[in-house]
């Protein structure tokens, strides 16, 4: 099976600046949920923009499902990738939630009789169907991001990139967006590749794989349990451990083993019996 995203020996630098990426390679397999983490300015958003063809690499290749990204394939490649950004308020064009989801479909010239079903399906998948006739600007931050996700889902992308999509949300909104992503992964399985760019390690813990970038270099790469047993290295990279891992370390529960929240709760319940 072809990788969803393959970056081969990529180089990129902004204007007169030194190279941000120099001979950078990374493969993301279809159906994976990858959390891309790293301190401020490490290159995460730049990487997303390169993948979308919004920036052009000075050397190397980008392949999306085996298709090389070039001027000729740009539209095709972009059609397979949906993007949700940080600021929920900058993503709305429609007067109502339904209009907003319709906008992308209109751009794709989807016949008008097919639209209501597609809009309904997309809003249902993010739990926002009851809000179809509301004005987007009157929703909470978490609801706005779920609508932004519905607008992307309606276009049936194979890859969705969320660039710090929960950074401006309160804990409840963040939780709702993450639960929606978990539902989507369950629903679509191998058909959907998710990339979440985040500073929140509790969010990163939900992914199948965590890729840590440090000044354009691949610093760590592995499953959450592999990455979170390297607390000191993460600290050097300007990152924290998830809360459950911090607590289990403080309690000295299996120091060489990463416990997720459920495992920690079960350990605490057992040890108090």
Ligand X SMILES: Nc1ncnc2c1ncn2[C@@H]1O[C@H](COP(=O)(O)OP(=O)(O)OP(=O)(O)O)[C@@H](O)[C@H]1O
Instruction: Enumerate binding residues for ligand X (CB under 6 A).
Output: 14, 17, 20, 38, 40-46
Residue pair 118/95 in contact (Cβ under 8 Å)? The answer is no
CA separation for the pair 164, 87 (Å, rounded): 9
Question: Nearest distance from residue 20's CB to ligand X, in Å?
Answer: 5
* Residue placing its CB nearer to ligand X in the complex, 20 or 122: 20
Q: What is the CA radius of gyration of the chain?
A: 20
What is the number of residues in the chain?
273
* Residue placing its CB nearer to ligand X in the complex, 199 or 254: 199
Which distant-in-sequence residues (6+ apart) come within 8 Å of 104 by Cβ? 151, 152, 154, 155
Question: Nearest distance from residue 38's CB to ligand X, in Å?
Answer: 5
CA separation for the pair 269, 139 (Å, rounded): 38
Q: Is 164 a catalytic site residue? A: yes
- Please report the DSSP string for 93-119 in residue order: -SSSHHHHHHHHHHHTT--GGGHHHHH
Q: What does the block give as tokens for 34?
A: 């990858």
* Residue placing its CB nearer to ligand X in the complex, 23 or 183: 23
Residue pair 7/33 in contact (Cβ under 8 Å)? The answer is no
* Residue placing its CB nearer to ligand X in the complex, 39 or 254: 39
Question: Nearest distance from residue 27's CB to ligand X, in Å?
Answer: 20
Question: Nearest distance from residue 47's CB to ligand X, in Å?
Answer: 7
Using the structure block, give the residue that is written with the tokens 């490649």.
Answer: 77
* Residue placing its CB nearer to ligand X in the complex, 45 or 143: 45
CA separation for the pair 20, 61 (Å, rounded): 16
Residue from 71, 164, 191, 262 carrying the catalytic annotation: 164
CA separation for the pair 183, 14 (Å, rounded): 37
Question: Nearest distance from residue 189's CB to ligand X, in Å?
Answer: 29
The total of other beta-carbon atoms located within 10 Å of residue 78's CB is 17
Q: Which residues carry out catalysis?
A: 164
């Amino acid at each position: 099976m072809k990788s969803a995203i393959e970056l081969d020996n990529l180089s990129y630098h902004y204007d007169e600046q030194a190279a941000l990426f120099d001979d950078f390679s990374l493969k993301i397999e279809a159906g994976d949920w990858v959390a891309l983490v790293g301190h401020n300015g490490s290159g995460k958003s730049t990487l997303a923009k390169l993948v979308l063809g919004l920036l052009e690499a000075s050397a190397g290749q980008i392949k999306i499902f085996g298709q090389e990204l070039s001027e000729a394939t740009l539209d095709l490649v972009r059609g397979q990738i949906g993007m949700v950004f940080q600021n929920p308020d900058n993503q709305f064009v429609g007067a109502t939630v339904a209009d907003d989801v319709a906008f992308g479909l209109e751009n794709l010239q989807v016949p008008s009789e097919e639209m209501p079903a597609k809009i309904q399906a997309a809003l249902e998948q993010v739990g926002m169907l009851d809000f179809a006739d509301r004005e987007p600007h009157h929703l909470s931050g978490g609801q706005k991001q779920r609508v932004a996700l519905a607008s992307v889902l309606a276009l049936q992308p194979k890859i969705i990139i969320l660039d710090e999509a929960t950074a401006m949300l309160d804990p409840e909104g963040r939780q709702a967006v993450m639960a929606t992503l978990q539902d989507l992964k369950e629903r679509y399985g191998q058909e959907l590749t998710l990339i979440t760019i985040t500073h929140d390690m509790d969010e990163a813990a939900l992914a199948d794989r965590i890729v840590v970038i440090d000044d354009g270099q691949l610093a760590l790469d592995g499953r959450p349990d592999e990455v979170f047993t390297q607390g000191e290295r993460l600290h050097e990279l300007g990152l924290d451990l998830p809360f459950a891992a911090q607590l289990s370390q403080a309690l000295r529960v299996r120091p060489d083993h990463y416990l997720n929240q459920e495992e920690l709760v079960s350990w605490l319940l057992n040890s108090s019996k």
